[in-house]
Structure 1
Amino acid sequence: MNRSIRPDAVLIQAVIAGALSFAHLHDLAAAAGQSGWKAWAYPISVDLLLVAAWRRLRAGRDRSSWTWFAIALAASLGANIATAGLLDLDHVPAWLRILVAGWPALAFLGGTLLVHAPTPAPATPEPAPEPDREPAAPEVEMHRTDTPAPAPASAPTAELDPPSVKPPASGPAVPPALLDHARSIADAHRNTTGQPITADALTARLGLPAPTCQAIAAQLQLT
């Protein structure tokens, strides 16, 4: 698609300023003894250094770019002011001839430094803040308000072993078998004589130590 070319006031001013500055630089270089093609090369050198410094400023904005931009701008403005009638171009002072003669080397140095200057590292973007996490649900402590029912009483465990006969505190322990044997002797004596057996008679029949026989007699309630 073809774009229509519209006049821009800023663009027109730039063309006029560039043409007049170019002519003034040419006239000043010619008055300083640079004749022929050399006089036309001076305005080109100044404008190129000005553009290079400006592009460097837009890219990095370092101090060296500002320095060379100011030097090129001073050379352009100086030529405009010098050719405005303040300087006799037929009798150019020696210091101005020296500046014009040394300008090519100065412009080459500035252009080289601008081209080979390190490019500043781009600013590291700040990390995006992490989204706020949802707060964790608060822990709720549960308490019972009702009274728990008492646990059912366990059924008593049936005793599997027969209860053992507890011996008297003062006598030795008597085995149940020995006690049954002594009871059978006592029962036989009762059946035969019709009288209960005495402790001495039971002791004589059993033939055991006296403490054991006394413990047996006590459990059989013999006198």
Structure 2
Amino acid sequence: MRAHLARVDAVLVQALIAAALSFAHLHDVASAAGQDGWKAWAYPVSVDLLLVAAWRRLRSGDAKASGWCWFVIALAASLGANVATAGLLDLHQVPAWLRILVAGWPAVAFLGGTLLAHSASASTDSAPEAADVVEDQDERDGRENTPDPALGQAEPTTSPAPQPAPVAVPELPAVSVPAALVEHARKVAAEHHTRTGTPIDTPTLRARLGVPAPLAEAITARL
């Protein structure tokens, strides 16, 4: 934990020193180019703010081309001031091109800051619009999938119940009926019809003749 804090403190101190030196160099160049008073102190702030804004754009991942463009411009202004104060230029006799660059820097910084801020707001506004389009599409899909009450509720389709397999019934062998038994059965049936007024049924015929059920059914079929 202490090693981590020490590393963070060292980085912070180094950043503060570098920022102070760069700030002082920009102030000296602006002052030498004819920007006196508070204007000379405003130039370092403008350069550093544009550098931070461009770096944030690069970190956000949106419009990286614009972010790299303005990051290079702000870095060139900062490095140029640092190099200029190293004795390569006579700050007592600043050339005209440097005066032009320093005088035109506020317009450049304003343009860069405006473009970076505008592209940031446009990217944040496009996200809710895309979300609204997705929500509208989901609502339309939900309305299309919902059945219309006026048309009635669609009955769920059910598969037909499986039918039981047919059971094979063994065929009974044909029962031979003597002709004499058939004639006797006709007399019994006629007597039953005369007495009751209804045709004789198989159980009654079986009881009257005293024969098995298959034989009684065969006789009934012959009547």
Q: Tell me the TM-score normalized by structure 2.
A: 0.53
Deviations 1:78-125 (A, max 9, x none): 000000000000111111100000000000000011011033889xxx
Q: Does structure 2 retain, via aligned residues, the 8 Å contact 1:60–1:119?
A: no
> The residue matched to 2:123 in structure 1 has which SS?
coil
| Aligned counterparts of 1:160 and 1:20: Cα–Cα separation in 2 | 137
**Partner residue in 2 for 1:56:** 57
Deviations 1:134-174 (A, max 9, x none): xxxxxxxxxxxxxxxxx966211556999xxxxxxxxxxxx
**Partner residue in 1 for 2:16:** 15
| Aligned counterparts of 1:58 and 1:74: Cα–Cα separation in 2 | 20
| Aligned counterparts of 1:32 and 1:93: Cα–Cα separation in 2 | 8
Unaligned ranges ≥5, structure 2: 128-168, 181-223
Unaligned ranges ≥5, structure 1: 123-150, 163-223
> The residue matched to 1:8 in structure 2 has which SS?
helix
| Aligned counterparts of 1:54 and 1:42: Cα–Cα separation in 2 | 18
Identity rate, percent: 70
| Aligned counterparts of 2:52 and 2:87: Cα–Cα separation in 1 | 28
2:85 is the alignment partner of 1:67 = no
Q: Tell me the TM-score normalized by structure 1.
A: 0.53
Aligned length: 131
Quick one: structure 1 residues 84 and 155, their matched pair in 2 at CA, closer, same or farther if it must change by over 3 Å?
A: same
Per-residue deviation, 1:28 = 0.1
> The residue matched to 1:119 in structure 2 has which SS?
helix
Per-residue deviation, 1:10 = 1.3
| Aligned counterparts of 2:24 and 2:91: Cα–Cα separation in 1 | 14
Quick one: structure 1 residues 153 and 23, their matched pair in 2 at CA, closer, same or farther if it must change by over 3 Å?
A: same
Structure 1 outlier segments of 4+, above 2 Å: 118-122, 151-154, 157-162
Deviations 1:171-213 (A, max 9, x none): xxxxxxxxxxxxxxxxxxxxxxxxxxxxxxxxxxxxxxxxxxx
Quick one: structure 1 residues 160 and 64, their matched pair in 2 at CA, closer, same or farther if it must change by over 3 Å?
A: farther
Deviations 1:12-50 (A, max 9, x none): 111010000000000000000000000000000000000
Q: Does structure 2 retain, via aligned residues, the 8 Å contact 1:29–1:35?
A: yes
Higher helix proportion (structure 1 or 2) = 2
- Higher-Rg structure is 1
Partner amino acid for 1:11? L
**Partner residue in 2 for 1:85:** 87
Q: CA RMSD in A?
A: 2.7
| Aligned counterparts of 1:161 and 1:37: Cα–Cα separation in 2 | 143
Quick one: structure 1 residues 28 and 154, their matched pair in 2 at CA, closer, same or farther if it must change by over 3 Å?
A: same
